[in-house]
């Protein structure tokens, strides 16, 4: 074990306590643990990371947790009685929760926690709440059967209160809900404020005594560095923003709030009796692994005053773009690593539109892969996303978030000439999904505070000479569930989409414009449907970034798909719920995002402990009177 002193900057000797890098179970350093065993009187835990989402932290994700993958620290304080827990994938690649004492090398698996993520402790330390397979569950830390409490299709964290209620975020575009730890029907705890443009409440923490809930709120999903830290009073039902510009906040019993911003852990003095901040933020610790795409962070603390975290900082993983064929062979398409997202082939297959994140900005670029040239298409906003080509290849449609935080769908000529023109005008977050092959109807996804993500269609009339005139958006699917990522069939008669109505993300097909039946295509989870333009094949992505395929037939108003099969053994790198692949128009190969062979991300298989963290916190940020 590499043991060294340090605090905020990690400089040797800068503080009077020990910072230890503890490797994953079985990776050694018994001597160092034995030497400090008298100081380790608390129990800590480590959980898995959520990849950028995209959500999730994902949640889906997407959340691989082998020792060679990132580890994620607990989201709730840890009590003395709790054995540390972490998530690790077994031979079947399913994530499970393990528990292990810090002074021992062996870990014990908790059977029944397959596919788990975002777990948290009960106040007495005897139970673990966790999310798996679209459900909120609990299990004893001693083992036994896991109990399902309620649905949680795409969670963003939970917290177990002293009154026995669990506060949680059931899906990535939802407010907070609460449910009894004995199970039952969840009840809404907060509501999304349409006046200010609320889009999500996530990563809750129930404060001591249950008088308030701390959480992250944002008017934009996908980037949380500028999110709000909010307190909800359970007595009055009122909420107030206590800090702007941070995420993943936690109350610590020293009289502070700690939160993340740009990879640094900050502290604010906080009066828990009056629920108010009493001073200015002070940086404590840099290079803490965070995911600004989901608002998740990898740190936790014990009630005895020790901190555990994963070193990493606030970064978007740079990936390369590869061709992937049916045999699972990867060939470089653009090997230069970058913050690439959402690749989309032009109709002729010679250009690739994609988003590139560079620091706090994300823009749409066009890559001419035969010439190996990249051209920037969008300027002026803070975020553009989800590029979709028009069927004639002349324009690219994309979502655009302006500096006032308003998101709409625009289009622009693919060669960069002319101005970008808006196709929608509303404050709800939205992104384009697919054009009908005749180029007259656009399907797009919009976030509605009442019905979550919905699929709408927009007819457009006109031509280049007379000009283009978009019509009024019309809802196609607006159930209480999330419906996303619509994709028109090559003949324009069918619309594929993703939905969590079953409790898991699955892929479905409906006739367009309807009415008609509904056919579920995927089994065991599916995302991001794609149609082959050259054959009767239908593709979608699994939650662990593999491609499935199903052949289909359509006769009249009836649709039939064969049992999905694995299209290729190749597995690429997740980008949360966002797109990380596209099928080439020839239907024989995919462009996928993947770690470069020469520079794959360094394995994160250890965590760092800082002992006596609370003492140093009080010294650096004197608390106000409580």
pLDDT of the residue at 623: 84
pLDDT of the residue at 194: 64
Whether residues 282 and 423 share a domain: the answer is: no
Whether residues 43 and 148 share a domain: the answer is: yes
Whether residues 569 and 607 share a domain: the answer is: no
At 434, the pLDDT band (50, 70, 90 cuts) reads very high
- pLDDT mean over 77-90: 50
Instruction: Give burial (CB, 10 Å; 0-12/13-18/19+) of 211.
Output: middle
Whether residues 72 and 198 share a domain: the answer is: yes
Whether residues 226 and 146 share a domain: the answer is: yes
pLDDT of the residue at 371: 92
Place of tokens 């031979």: 91
Q: What does the pLDDT look like over 301-359, one tens digit per residue?
A: 888 899 989 887 666 678 899 999 999 999 999 999 988 999 999 999 999 999 998 76
Compute the mean pLDDT over every residue in the chain, rounded to the nearest whole number: 82
pLDDT of the residue at 2: 29
Strands 340-345 and 330-338: unpaired
- pLDDT mean over 214-220: 90
Place of tokens 């650096």: 620
Cβ 605 vs Cβ 23: under 8 Å: yes
Cβ 530 vs Cβ 550: under 8 Å: no
The pLDDT > 70 percentage for the chain reads: 81
Number of independent structural domains in the chain = 2
At 448, the pLDDT band (50, 70, 90 cuts) reads confident
- pLDDT mean over 167-178: 88
Gyration radius from the chain CA atoms = 24
Cβ 50 vs Cβ 125: under 8 Å: no
At 84, the pLDDT band (50, 70, 90 cuts) reads low
Among residues 573, 590, 612, which one ends one of the domains?
A: 573
Please tell me the distance from the alpha carbon of residue 470 to that of residue 463, in angstroms, as a whole number: 11
Cβ 71 vs Cβ 24: under 8 Å: yes
pLDDT of the residue at 185: 93
Specify if 187 maps to a domain: yes
Cβ 278 vs Cβ 298: under 8 Å: no
At 76, the pLDDT band (50, 70, 90 cuts) reads low
For position 431, which CATH number holds?
2.120.10.30
Place of tokens 């199903």: 550
pLDDT at 549 over 90: yes
pLDDT of the residue at 21: 33
| Residue 33, helix vs strand vs coil | helix
Cβ 29 vs Cβ 22: under 8 Å: yes
604 against 8, higher pLDDT? 604
pLDDT of the residue at 105: 77
pLDDT of the residue at 92: 58
**What is the residue-wise DSSP string for 164-217?**
SEEEE--STT---EEEETT----EE-----TTTT--EEEEEEEPGGGSEEEEEE
44 against 591, higher pLDDT? 591
Whether residues 292 and 370 share a domain: the answer is: no
pLDDT at 79 over 50: no
- pLDDT mean over 509-517: 93
Of 49-58, 104-113, 425-434, 534-543, the poorest mean pLDDT is in 49-58
Cα-to-chain-centroid distance, residue 330: 26
Could you tell me the sign of the dihedral formed by the alpha carbons of 354, 355, 357, 362, in that order? positive
Specify if 586 maps to a domain: no
Whether residues 59 and 103 share a domain: the answer is: yes
608 against 176, higher pLDDT? 176
pLDDT of the residue at 357: 84
Whether residues 246 and 181 share a domain: the answer is: yes
What are phi and psi for residue 5, nearest 5 degrees? -80, 155
Whether residues 545 and 611 share a domain: the answer is: no
Cβ 616 vs Cβ 17: under 8 Å: yes
Whether residues 397 and 541 share a domain: the answer is: yes
Specify if 45 maps to a domain: yes
Specify if 333 maps to a domain: no
Cβ 157 vs Cβ 75: under 8 Å: yes
pLDDT at 412 over 90: yes
| Residue 30, helix vs strand vs coil | helix
Place of tokens 């009077």: 16
Q: What does the pLDDT look like over 222-263, one tens digit per residue?
A: 778 889 999 999 999 999 999 999 999 999 999 999 999 988
Q: What is this structure's pTM?
A: 0.70
Please tell me the distance from the alpha carbon of residue 63 to that of residue 51, in angstroms, as a whole number: 6
Whether residues 370 and 263 share a domain: the answer is: no
- pLDDT mean over 592-616: 75
Please tell me the distance from the alpha carbon of residue 582 to that of residue 345, in angstroms, as a whole number: 7
102 against 561, higher pLDDT? 561
- pLDDT mean over 52-77: 36
Please tell me the distance from the alpha carbon of residue 334 to that of residue 312, in angstroms, as a whole number: 26
pLDDT at 38 over 60: no
Find out whether the peptide bond into 601 is cis, omega within 30 degrees of 0: no
Find out whether the peptide bond into 515 is cis, omega within 30 degrees of 0: yes
- pLDDT mean over 502-530: 91
Please tell me the distance from the alpha carbon of residue 18 to that of residue 349, in angstroms, as a whole number: 56
322: phi > 0 → left, psi -120 to 50 → alpha, else beta; which? beta
Token pair of 377 as six digits: 């298409």
At 599, the pLDDT band (50, 70, 90 cuts) reads very low
- From the list 108, 295, 134, 146, the residue with the least C-alpha distance to 214 is 295
Specify if 105 maps to a domain: yes
Go through the chain and tell me how many residues it has. Answer: 626
Q: What does the pLDDT look like over 254-303, one tens digit per residue?
A: 999 999 998 899 999 999 999 999 999 999 999 898 888 789 898 998 88
Supply angle C-alpha 131, 529, 65, rounded to 5.
Answer: 35
pLDDT of the residue at 13: 27
Specify if 578 maps to a domain: no
Specify if 194 maps to a domain: yes
pLDDT at 363 over 50: yes
Cβ 132 vs Cβ 117: under 8 Å: yes
- pLDDT mean over 464-493: 92
| Residue 80, helix vs strand vs coil | coil
Specify if 588 maps to a domain: no
Q: What does the pLDDT look like over 143-163, one tens digit per residue?
A: 999 999 998 877 899 999 999
pLDDT at 426 over 90: no
What are phi and psi for residue 616, nearest 5 degrees? -70, -35
- pLDDT mean over 129-139: 92
- pLDDT mean over 591-595: 92
Q: What does the pLDDT look like over 182-199, one tens digit per residue?
A: 999 999 999 888 667 777
The pLDDT > 90 percentage for the chain reads: 56
Whether residues 297 and 365 share a domain: the answer is: no
Supply the range of the domain harboring residue 95: 2-315+603-620
């Amino acid at each position: 074990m590499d043991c060294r002193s340090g605090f905020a900057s990690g400089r040797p000797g800068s503080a009077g306590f020990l910072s230890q890098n503890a490797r994953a179970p079985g990776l050694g350093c018994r001597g160092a643990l034995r030497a400090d065993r008298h100081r380790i009187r608390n129990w800590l835990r480590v959980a898995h990371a959520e990849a950028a989402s995209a959500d999730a932290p994902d949640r889906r994700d997407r959340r691989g947790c082998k020792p060679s993958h990132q580890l994620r620290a607990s989201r709730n304080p840890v009590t003395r009685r709790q054995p540390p827990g972490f998530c690790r994938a077994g031979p079947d690649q399913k994530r499970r929760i393990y528990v292990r004492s810090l002074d021992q090398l062996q870990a014990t698996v908790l059977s029944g926690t397959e596919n788990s993520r975002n777990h948290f402790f009960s106040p007495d330390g005897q139970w673990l709440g966790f999310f798996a397979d679209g459900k909120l569950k609990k299990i004893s830390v001693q083992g036994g059967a896991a109990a399902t409490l309620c649905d949680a299709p795409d969670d963003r964290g939970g917290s177990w209160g002293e009154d026995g209620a669990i506060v949680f975020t059931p899906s990535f575009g939802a407010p907070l809900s609460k449910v009894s730890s004995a199970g039952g029907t969840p009840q809404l705890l907060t509501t999304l404020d349409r006046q200010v443009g609320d889009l999500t409440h996530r990563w809750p923490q129930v404060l001591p005594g249950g008088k308030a809930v701390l959480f992250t709120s944002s008017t934009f999903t996908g980037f949380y560095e500028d999110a709000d830290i909010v307190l909800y009073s359970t007595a009055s039902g009122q909420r107030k923003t206590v800090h702007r510009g941070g995420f993943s906040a936690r109350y610590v019993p020293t009289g502070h709030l700690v939160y993340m911003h740009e990879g640094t852990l900050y502290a604010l003095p906080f009066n828990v009796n009056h629920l108010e901040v009493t001073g200015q933020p002070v940086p404590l610790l840099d290079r803490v692994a965070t995911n600004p795409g989901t608002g998740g962070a990898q740190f936790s603390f014990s009630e005895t005053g020790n901190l555990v975290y994963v070193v990493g900082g606030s970064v978007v993983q740079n990936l390369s773009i590869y061709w992937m064929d049916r045999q699972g062979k990867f060939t470089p398409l653009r090997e230069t690593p970058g913050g690439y997202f959402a690749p989309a082939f032009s109709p002729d297959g010679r250009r690739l539109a994609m988003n590139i994140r560079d620091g706090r900005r994300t823009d749409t670029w066009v890559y001419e892969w035969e010439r190996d040239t990249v051209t920037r298409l969008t300027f002026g906003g803070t975020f553009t996303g989800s590029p979709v080509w028009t069927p004639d290849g002349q324009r690219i449609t994309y979502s655009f978030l302006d500096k006032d935080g308003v998101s709409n769908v625009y289009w622009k000529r693919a060669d960069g000439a002319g101005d970008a023109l808006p196709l929608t005008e509303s404050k709800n977050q939205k992104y384009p999904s697919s054009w009908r092959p005749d180029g007259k109807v656009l399907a797009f996804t919009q976030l509605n505070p009442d019905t979550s993500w919905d699929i709408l269609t927009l007819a457009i009339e006109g031509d280049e000479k007379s000009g283009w005139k978009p019509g009024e958006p019309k809802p196609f699917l607006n159930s209480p569930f999330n419906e996303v990522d619509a994709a028109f069939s090559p003949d324009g008669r069918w619309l594929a989409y993703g939905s969590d109505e079953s409790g898991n993300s699955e892929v479905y097909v409906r006739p367009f414009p309807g009415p008609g039946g509904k056919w579920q295509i995927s089994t065991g989870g599916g995302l991001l449907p794609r149609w082959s333009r050259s054959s009767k094949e239908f593709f979608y992505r699994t939650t662990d970034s593999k491609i499935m395929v199903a052949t289909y037939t359509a006769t009249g108003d009836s649709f039939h798909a064969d049992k999905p099969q694995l299209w290729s053994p190749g597995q690429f790198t997740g980008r949360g719920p966002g797109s990380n692949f596209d099928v080439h128009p020839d239907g024989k190969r995919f462009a996928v995002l993947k770690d470069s062979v020469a520079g794959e991300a360094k394995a994160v298989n250890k965590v760092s402990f800082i002992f006596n963290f609370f003492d140093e916190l009080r010294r650096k940020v004197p608390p106000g009177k409580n």
